[in-house]
Structure 1
Amino acid sequence: MNKKIIISIIAGSVMLGGSGCKKFLDVNNDPAAATNVTDALLVGGAELTTAFNIAGGYPARTAAFWTQQLGYDQPAPEWDTYKVTASDVDNTWSFDMYPQILNNLKILQDQATTANHPHAAGMGKILMAYNLAVTTDLWNAIPYSQAFTGFENFKPKYDSQESIYTSINTLLDDAIALLAKEDASASVGDKDLIYASDPEKWTAFAYFLKARFALRLTYAPGKVAATQAQAALTALTKAFPDESYNPGVKFESKSGAQAPWSQFTDNDKWGSVAVSSTFIQLLKSTNDPRLSVMVDTALLGGGYRGRIIGDEQINIDSLSAVGKFFAAADQSVYLATYDEQLFIKAEATFLTAGFVAAQPILNSAVEATFTRFGMKPLGADSTAFKTYLAAKCKLTAANAYEVIMTQKYISNYLSLESYNDWRRTNFPKLTVVQNAYQGITTVPRRWVYPASENETNAQPEQPAKVTDRVWWDTKQ
């Protein structure tokens, strides 16, 4: 599936070797090679790689296929019918996540701490926490405590997911403390692509992540759902005040700088990506006003026609593509959104105080989604919005959890969080697609370990199966 790995546009990303890299012969020393990279380059590079290759790249695309938001118009078995192998996931692990993101963020934290640049160190810890969560949520146990020692250890052990989440929370707490300190260095400045080095916004993002991850562990072994929900609500009091805090990387229309979803859904480049029939049917069955923004009509025949995952290949022009709003070349890729925050609050409130208390928060979350989708005219004063809200978002004791999570699934269109939430709650209700790879009878719950790890760093956790569950995924 290497055909599915697009060439990165990360011109600003800096890929450094581990701290154990040594010069073996002075004659091989390249005077043009960087030996020290600034905080600004490390932050900007990690942000760009995270947005383009992770939040808008292969992990997010796999999530969109496996949660049946998108379909891949190729003969089965394919990407959308669960054919994701050890070779397919190798690039994410071996080129994107560990060397370009996590290792560089470790270097950033170390050098910023040494130089007394607390804000840069705080940014590095938050980005590390975000990407560690992505990595462990895809693979379960992963290297972390021994992962960044270079030549000192070629076979780092895998840390349990439980311990990884403990480290994630420590990183976020440390980041909050660092960002509260005075820092006149301006060592990152406007090279920070997300918040232009605004410590208040970075702190709010850290609290948002604490809330997201508290809910992630709602049903993890040894955890109490109400306690996790209350922890999320507590963190949210210091998170985003509104949508202006949405952490995203903005892309451009010029060639080579287009947003990842724009490149991926461009049929002149890929020719195989369509919205799935499952997702279109969900929106059509509820008369969702967002349908026309999220989905394009088919070029041939018009109307909204989704790809039936696992069916025979047909003319891609007879299928609906991703809506132009989401496929825009100058779109932003968000690592979180204010509407997701409101959905977190709605779920956490439901788990702690019941469906009646959650109802107004859900209404606000749905309205915030409409607003982010560019549909402000359909906001709170709109008849169409009010009709939809009353008909499809009314909570009862019996339907509350499913309605909240289904609305969040729609809001998190093309986001990794749709897959994480589905595994955590089993909402929305998904069924196995036809002609699944190797006769798989359940929707995959994780990725297998990459080929490079299986071959060079043998560990007890390998190779795993896509039907295995990660530690926190226990909801039946």
Structure 2
Amino acid sequence: MKKIYIAIISLGILFFGSSCSENIMDELNKNVNNPENMSSRLMLTDLITTSAFTVTGSDLAFYASVYIEHNVGIFNQLYNAEIRSNEPTSSTTYNNSWGAVYRNLRDLKTVIEKCSEGGEEEGNYHNLGIAQILSAYNLAILTDLMGDVPWSEALQPGIIFTPTLDSQESIYADIFKFLDDGIANLSKETTFPLLGTQDFIYGGNAASIAKWIKFGHGLKARYTMRLSHKSPDYAGVISSANQSFANSSEEAKFLYNGTSSKSPFHQFYTDRNYFGASQSLHEKLTERNDPRDAVYFKPNTGQSEIEFAPNGTPTQVQGRYGLSGLTGITAPTFLMSYHELEFLKAEAYARQGAATLPQAREALKKAITAAFAKSNVGLSAEDAEEYFDDSVSGRLTTPEATLAEIMVQKYIALYEEEAIEAYNDYRRLRAMGNNFVQLKNPLNTNRFPLRFTYGSSDVTTNENIRNAYGDGSYVYTESVWWAGGSR
């Protein structure tokens, strides 16, 4: 019966094909589920989602949380990362995320072309600006973690098959240009409609454009601080930050409903269960009598007490070590939080010396208060004030001591969803000689991952990337450019 059915279908197509025009055949050959042309608004909906879920809340964050000791890898790939076996140097480790970032950048390029002069949506300045902000965001994650990457010759399939690597320094120039152009375009008038509910970050209402502009300024503050080892501009950090979020309601975060959408860390725990509660993070909290210690961790299922996993030397086992208390099904993914912004201001003020310490203290207090109020932390402003007065204020005695406490507090506050930023901060601080955050993995002496590897899909097909990758051991010896390296 199956053979007869196939034969009938084949004959039908043969007969139909003999009596129809090429135009009809062209229509038949189209995949209606994968249209060749799509409006920028529909593309941006997908790009907002993928930027949050498949880039920020991806393997990049999971591995960063292990390297930065927010979590301990206790099983399989994450255990290998914890004990520095294979995973940190393998080109397959981050390949999915590597591809996801480049797909985002390619599709964002398409949106930018559509909405720019000569494009079919010319004058759609708001969608153009959003695409430019998201391009800066995705490109920064890529180069912050991988260093020099293909960029100026990339995103040209069928034209350039083996793009060369661009320097991180030149890529950062493009990141700032994306942000400046995006802010400028978002500030223009347009006759095109707002994204509406297709804007999964800001809701697409009349106030959303102002928030996207603030997000752009916040990213400028972040990336200006990122370059502080190379070209410090603390006044610039403060200026950009002051044009950004005024409170937590304006921060750039992706929310999940717990049914059709679920937090990536929760999904990763459900699918893999590869994390244990970090001993070193716990110690930093207890040293300060921090009330978040009771929130950040919980016993494993079936256990009555929390057993903390020793950093670098855990037993490879599931169901034993404590778990993250923040890994909720609706925990948001932060593209940029209000508390991060206030920490940036606090650091910038502290680095300017004794005269601006009062402003540093004020920003630090705002940052801690906002971090306490995160939806999956749930501590009150009164809790934050008591903690600041009893455990933090007394540590702010000099500019250096204030700076150190700011960075430790930021490290604590960025657990868990903001692990990538904590990882970036740690590498920048090390380059600047500021060893404020003490990690406990004994393997860090000579095997702290200074960067992530390139994806295997390009290591195997692009000789430029293959030569830069070598055997992968460079991740332990070569910092990225903004952290004092050469590439």
TM over 0.5: yes
Matched residues in 1 for 2:397 and 2:447: separation?
A: 29
Gaps of 5+ in 1: 1-24
Within a 5 Å distance, the mapping from 1:65-464 to structure 2 comes to: 65-74=66-75, 78-82=80-84, 83-84=87-88, 85-94=90-99, 96-99=100-103, 101-113=104-116, 114=119, 115=121, 116-186=123-193, 188-197=195-204, 198-220=208-230, 223=231, 225=232, 228-254=233-259, 257-266=261-270, 269-299=271-301, 301-313=303-315, 316-323=318-325, 326-354=326-354, 356-357=357-358, 358-372=360-374, 374-379=377-382, 383-384=386-387, 386-391=389-394, 393-414=395-416, 415=418, 416-426=420-430, 427-431=435-439, 433-434=441-442, 441-459=446-464, 461-463=468-470
Determine if contact 2:312/2:442 at 8 Å carries over to the other structure.
Answer: yes
Aligned pair count reads: 436
Gaps of 5+ in 2: 1-24
Cα distance, 1:319 vs. partner? 1.6
Scaled by the length of structure 1, the TM-score of the pair is 0.85
Q: Which residue of 2 aligns with 1:49?
A: 50
* 2:310 aligned partner, one-letter code: I
Cα distance per residue 1:249-276 (max 9 Å; x no partner):
111211x52110111223xx32331121
Cα distance, 1:361 vs. partner? 1.9
Cα distance, 1:313 vs. partner? 2.3
Cα distance per residue 1:367-421 (max 9 Å; x no partner):
2211225444353785455323335x53424422221111000111121100000
* 1:424 aligned partner, one-letter code: R
SS at match of 2:481: coil
Cα distance per residue 1:268-296 (max 9 Å; x no partner):
x3233112111112112221111122211
Determine if contact 1:289/1:385 at 8 Å carries over to the other structure.
Answer: no
* 2:370 aligned partner, one-letter code: A
Q: Which moved more, 1:137-146 or 1:158-167?
A: 137-146
Matched residues in 1 for 2:385 and 2:174: separation?
A: 45
Matched residues in 1 for 2:201 and 2:46: separation?
A: 12
Matched residues in 2 for 1:199 and 1:187: separation?
A: 9
SS at match of 2:158: helix
Matched residues in 2 for 1:230 and 1:42: separation?
A: 36
Cα distance per residue 1:227-261 (max 9 Å; x no partner):
x211111111211111111111111211x521101
Q: Which residue of 2 aligns with 1:21?
A: none
Matched residues in 2 for 1:449 and 1:124: separation?
A: 25
SS at match of 1:49: helix
Determine if contact 2:266/2:327 at 8 Å carries over to the other structure.
Answer: yes
Structure with a larger share of its residues in helix? 2
Q: Which moved more, 1:400-409 or 1:415-424?
A: 400-409
SS at match of 1:350: helix
Matched residues in 1 for 2:350 and 2:388: separation?
A: 23
* 2:265 aligned partner, one-letter code: W
Q: Which moved more, 1:193-202 or 1:378-387?
A: 378-387
* 2:295 aligned partner, one-letter code: V
Alpha carbons of structure 1 residues 444 and 177: separation in structure 2 relative to 1, 3 Å: same
Task: State the structure with more CA Rg.
Answer: 2
Q: Please provide the CA RMSD for this pair.
A: 2.4
Alpha carbons of structure 1 residues 73 and 462: separation in structure 2 relative to 1, 3 Å: closer
Alpha carbons of structure 1 residues 311 and 442: separation in structure 2 relative to 1, 3 Å: closer
Determine if contact 1:117/1:187 at 8 Å carries over to the other structure.
Answer: no
Q: Which residue of 2 aligns with 1:11?
A: none
Determine if contact 1:371/1:379 at 8 Å carries over to the other structure.
Answer: no
Matched residues in 1 for 2:273 and 2:421: separation?
A: 26
Cα distance per residue 1:116-175 (max 9 Å; x no partner):
210001000000000100000111111121112221111112111000100000010001
Cα distance, 1:435 vs. partner? 6.3
Scaled by the length of structure 2, the TM-score of the pair is 0.84
SS at match of 2:254: strand
SS at match of 2:163: coil
Matched residues in 2 for 1:252 and 1:381: separation?
A: 28
1:473 partnered with 2:483: yes
Alpha carbons of structure 1 residues 64 and 156: separation in structure 2 relative to 1, 3 Å: same
* 2:251 aligned partner, one-letter code: N
Q: Which residue of 2 aligns with 1:60?
A: 61
Cα distance, 1:28 vs. partner? 7.9
* 1:452 aligned partner, one-letter code: S
SS at match of 1:150: coil
Determine if contact 1:380/1:386 at 8 Å carries over to the other structure.
Answer: no
